Amino acid sequence: MGATKTEHFTDYQNHIAILAKALGHPARIAIIEYLMKVDACICGDIVNELTLAQPTVSQHLKELKNAGLIKGNIEGNAICYCIDDKSLSKLQAYLANISDSLEKKKNNCC
């Protein structure tokens, strides 16, 4: 016990959960927002932006990358990170779909 029982859920449910989970930390939200703000998708001055140690930021970037929410290009010495809109749109579409359905049903209870 302690580990998530992924085998009891569909691939889709697991995938959506992985995307949401990756966004489930304020540092990672801050990283996404920083990548949005900076016009060129500049690299690891993200470390200077956040009040967290470099290894910690690196770990958060890794998790966002594993979830498919960001991409990283090696640019000589540095690494250029940026948002991968495909994964983000997938989650957005999923939530939009639920919102729309709720709109139609309009408070059928509670």
Partner DNA sequence: TAATTAGATTGCAATATTACGATAAAGATT
Partner DNA sequence: AATCTTTATCGTAATATTGCAATCTAATTA
Each as own residue / partner, the long-range contacts of residues 86-91 (CB below 8 Å, 24 or more positions apart, any chain) are 87/19, 88/19, 90/16, 90/19, 91/16, 91/19, 91/20, 91/23
Q: Which does residue 66 touch among its own copies, DNA, none (CB within 5 to 8 A, set by kind)?
A: none
| Cα–Cα distance measured from residue 25 to residue 4, given in angstroms and rounded to the nearest whole number | 18
Residues of this chain that bind its own copies (CB under 8 A): 4-6, 8-10, 13-14, 16-18, 20-30, 32-33, 36, 39-41, 50-52, 71-73, 80-83, 85, 88-89, 91-92, 95-96, 98-99, 101-103, 105, 108-110
List interacting residues with DNA (CB under 7 A): 1-5, 21, 24-25, 27, 43-45, 47, 52-56, 58-63, 72, 74, 76-79
